[in-house]
Amino acid sequence: MKSTISVVTIVKSRQEALLNLVKGLDLGSLFPQELVIVHMDEPASGITSEHFMVKSFELTSGEHLPLAAARNFAVARSTSSHIIFLDVDCIPATDLVQLYANAFQSGDKLWTGPVRYLHKGATNAPGFFEKINGLSKPDPVRDDLSKLSYELFWSLNFGCSRDVFEQIGGFDEGFSGYGAEDTDFSFAARARHVPLGNTKALAYHQHHPSYDPPLNHLKDIVTNAQVFFKKWGVWPMEGWLRKFETAGLIQWKGEEITILRLPDLDEIAAALKP
């Protein structure tokens, strides 16, 4: 059965993860009307599905990761009245589209779903899709969605109507690269009186190398944090900024942050999560 819902995802060097996302949708109890894929500075894919239309685009940008612009680009090329946003590393549970469809019918909100994190190597396990839940663990911060705040909104797994997206104003393309663009989106939703809703539409996040703190994105994080502070009067990503400060990489005084030096390759390697 097919819905009147678009799923959108943005991609940069994640082809295997993208194929798993598509397979997850193919195994769903309700199919989207379409999947819109935006490749950031890489060729559009030739992925197809027997169950729904797949539309792939290339977005050429001078940015390393034009996350805000890519999501807006995807929405502009979707055709449905309701949209589910999935991070390319997310595999939807079989009932994800159905649960979002139920949520959309119950109210016009900014809807968020939970994420479970897959263990390293999980996607290579025999019969992976049948064992997916047992090969994952809940998000330690956002496991209880009933207590999710606008500050904790994350763009891995969410959905809304096109009207709500336009009411929020889309993603602010003043944010360049990695960091804070999704928190800004949720703050804009709150400022425009868009309620935040929770659905049990679950997505499984595929393991990939990540860093704590994300020293590989230091410049973007600092720049975007300053953009965010000037807009909202509060700092985002404070935990990461404090770690940058402790490492002697930035100077953070009052309303200004200065990059003192960039991390070297050894420091970045040491921040890699096990």
Q: Strand order in 136-138's β-sheet?
A: 90-92, 203-205, 115-118, 136-138
Instruction: Find which of 1-15, 61-75, 90-104, 143-157 is predicted with most confidence, using mean pLDDT.
Output: 90-104
Closest CA to 22 of 55, 47, 58, 3: 47
Q: What is the mean pLDDT of the chain?
A: 93
User: 69 and 100: one domain?
Assistant: yes
Average pLDDT value for residue range 135-141: 87
The pLDDT of 186-208, averaged and rounded, is 95
For residue 66, the enclosing domain spans 5-205
Q: Looking at the structure, do residues 39 and 144 belong to the same domain, yes or no?
A: yes
Residue 210 lies in a domain: no
pLDDT of the residue at 61 = 81
> Could you say which DSSP state residue 20 is in?
H
User: Which of 153, 177, 205 finishes a domain?
Assistant: 205
Instruction: Report pLDDT digits (tens) over 20-66.
Output: 999 999 999 999 999 999 999 999 989 999 999 999 999 998 777 88
Residues 141 and 232 in one domain: no
Across 104-110, average pLDDT: 96
Same domain (yes/no): 237, 188: no
- Of 205, 229, 255, which closes a domain? 205
Residue 114 CA to residue 112 CA, distance in Å, equals: 7
Question: Three-class SS of residue 43?
Answer: coil
Reduced to 3 states (helix: H, G, I; strand: E, B; else coil), residue 140 is coil
41, β-bridge pairs: none
Note the pLDDT tens digit of each residue in 157-192. Answer: 999 999 999 999 999 999 988 889 999 999 999 999
Domain count within the chain: 2
Give the pLDDT band (50/70/90) at residue 272.
confident
170 in the same domain as 45: yes
Do both 192 and 73 map to the same domain?
yes
How would residue 75 be classed by pLDDT, with cut points 50, 70 and 90? very high
CATH of the domain at 109: 3.90.550.10
266 within some domain: yes
- The 3-class secondary structure across 69-125, one letter per residue, is HHHHHHHHCCCCCEEEEECCCEEECCCHHHHHHHHHHHCCCEEECCEEEECCCHHHC
Within-domain flag for 234: yes
The pLDDT of residue 62: 74
Same domain, yes or no, for 88 and 185?
A: yes
- Both 63 and 171 in one domain: the answer is yes
Q: Which residues share a beta bridge with 71?
A: none
pLDDT of 142 higher than 90: no
Residues 146 and 256 in one domain: no
* H or E element, residue 245: helix 238-246
| Same-domain status, 190 and 221 | no
Q: Give a yes or no: residue 115 inside a domain.
A: yes
User: Which pLDDT score, from 0 to 100, does residue 3 have?
Assistant: 80
* pLDDT the model gives residue 64: 73
200 — alpha (psi -120 to 50), left (phi > 0) or beta?
A: alpha
Question: How far is the C-alpha of 243 from the C-alpha of 247, rounded, in Å?
Answer: 6
Indicate the pLDDT class of residue 145, thresholds 50, 70 and 90.
low
